[in-house]
A = this chain, B = another copy of it.
C-alpha cells in the first residue's frame, strides 16, 4: 500500500511571498527518497480556524502529516494551542523539553525568560522531539491511524530533526517500497517534437514506469519513475533508456545532475583540450556558465567580452570590412570572433556570440532576438542563427545555452 503524506507550512511570511518555501521542497525530496508519496502541500497563514480545518482535511487524506512553522515564542505563533485543541488535550510542561531548553540557555550564557520557559509547554499527548539547534522542540503525535509531526520553520533546525529522528521513525512505523527516479536530459529539440519522436517508445513503456516531461529554458528533461520491492529497479530503467536512445539518442546529453556546461567541461577535461569565449550579446554569461562548474580552470582560459565594435576589431581581429559589409550581428562576424579568440588565447576551441538581446535595438531585417553563434575548432567553424523572443535576460541565457549545445553537438558527432 502506498503511504501518503501531506506537508503543511504555517506562516504569513510565506503566503505574502516574503520568503521562499524551501523547507517544503527539501521535505518532499526526503520523503520521496524513502518511498513515501507526498500527495499534497498546503500553505496557510497564522489563523487558528485555518489551522484546525487543514489538520482535519489532511487527516482524512494522508497517513503522515508534516507541519512546519508557528512554534516560536512570540504571540503570533499558534501551532501548539491549535494542536492541543484539535486533539482535545491540555498543555503541560514537558520536563525533558524544559531540561534541554535550560541546558541550551546555560550553554550560551543567556537568561531563561518566562517566554522561553513556555516553549517546553506541549500538548499532553505528544512525544517530544529534541531540537539540538534551537529552543522550540518538535512534537510527534499518533492519533486516529495518522502520524502528525510538528516542527519549527527554521530550516536547519527542521532538517536536523527530520534526518536524525523523523525519517528513521517513519521507516520503523511503516512498511515502505523503494522508489527510483532517473532524469534523462535532452537539448536541441522542443517538448512536442521530442514527444512525437519517442512516441513508439513511450507507448511500449511498461505501465509501472512513469514518464514525465520537464521542459526548461532550451532543454527538455524526461523523468522515469518506478517503485517496488525488487532490487532490479535501476536495471529495468536502464534497459528502457537504451531503447529510448534509438529514437532520441542524439539529443541526450546527460542524466540526473548533469548540466550542458558540466558535460562540455567533462569532455574538454577528458580530451585535455581548452576553450575560450568571445562574447558580444551574451556579455559574459557564457563564460559565467562555463566557470560555474567547479574545476573549470583546467580547461577554460578566459574570454574577451567585446560589446563595442572597436574592441571586436582591436582585440579579436574582426575586419572592419566585415563589420561594414555585414554588421556586428552576422554570421561572418561571429566566425571571425570565434576564430580570433581561439588564435589569441591559443585554445583548442573558441566560442562566439553576437546578437540583439533587446528590448531595443532591433531592425526589420534583424529584429530583437536575432542572435548568431559560432563554435570554432581544429576541424573548422560551425555557426547557427537563433530567432529568440523579446526578453533581454532570457535571450542572453538562451544564447549562451545554445552555444554550449552547439559545442556538445559538434563533440558528439565527431566522437
Write the residues of chain A forming the contact surface with B, with a CB cutoff of 8 angstroms.
12-22, 24-30, 32, 38-47, 50, 57, 72-74, 76, 107-110, 113, 115-116, 132-133, 135, 154, 156, 181, 183, 190-193, 195-196, 211-216, 223, 277, 279, 282-288, 290-292, 294-297, 300-308, 310-311, 315, 345, 357-360, 387, 389-394, 396
28 A-B residue pairs with Cβ-Cβ distance under 8 Å, sorted by A, are A15-B38, A17-B26, A17-B28, A18-B223, A39-B50, A41-B43, A73-B195, A76-B211, A76-B212, A113-B192, A116-B192, A133-B389, A133-B394, A154-B215, A156-B391, A277-B284, A277-B305, A279-B284, A283-B292, A283-B296, A284-B287, A284-B303, A285-B288, A291-B357, A292-B393, A294-B358, A295-B360, A301-B310
A17 and B27 in contact, given A74-B192, A360-B295, A391-B133 (Cβ under 8 angstroms): yes
Partner of A195, one of B14, B74, B315: B74
Q: How far is the CB of A46 from chain B (nearest CB, A)?
A: 8
In the assembled complex, the Cα of A57 lies from the Cα of B132 at a distance in Å of: 38
What residues of chain B lie closer than 8 Å to A290, measured between beta carbons? 283
What residues of chain B lie closer than 8 Å to A72, measured between beta carbons? 191, 213, 215
What residues of chain B lie closer than 8 Å to A310, measured between beta carbons? 301
Chain B residue with Cβ nearest A290:
B283
In the assembled complex, the Cα of A14 lies from the Cα of B211 at a distance in Å of: 15
Most buried by B among A28, A108, A154, A357: A28
What residues of chain B lie closer than 8 Å to A394, measured between beta carbons? 133, 156
Q: Are A44 and B39 in contact (CB under 8 A)?
A: yes
What residues of chain B lie closer than 8 Å to A295, measured between beta carbons? 360
Partner of A287, one of B41, B115, B305: B305
Q: Are B301 and A303 in contact (CB under 8 A)?
A: no
Q: Are A214 and B40 in contact (CB under 8 A)?
A: no
Q: Are A288 and B291 in contact (CB under 8 A)?
A: no
Q: How far is the CB of A291 from chain B (nearest CB, A)?
A: 3
18 extra A-B contacts, CB within 8 A, seeds A13-B223, A20-B22: A12-B212, A15-B39, A16-B28, A18-B29, A18-B183, A19-B214, A20-B25, A39-B47, A40-B43, A42-B42, A46-B212, A72-B191, A74-B191, A74-B213, A76-B211, A283-B290, A288-B396, A294-B359
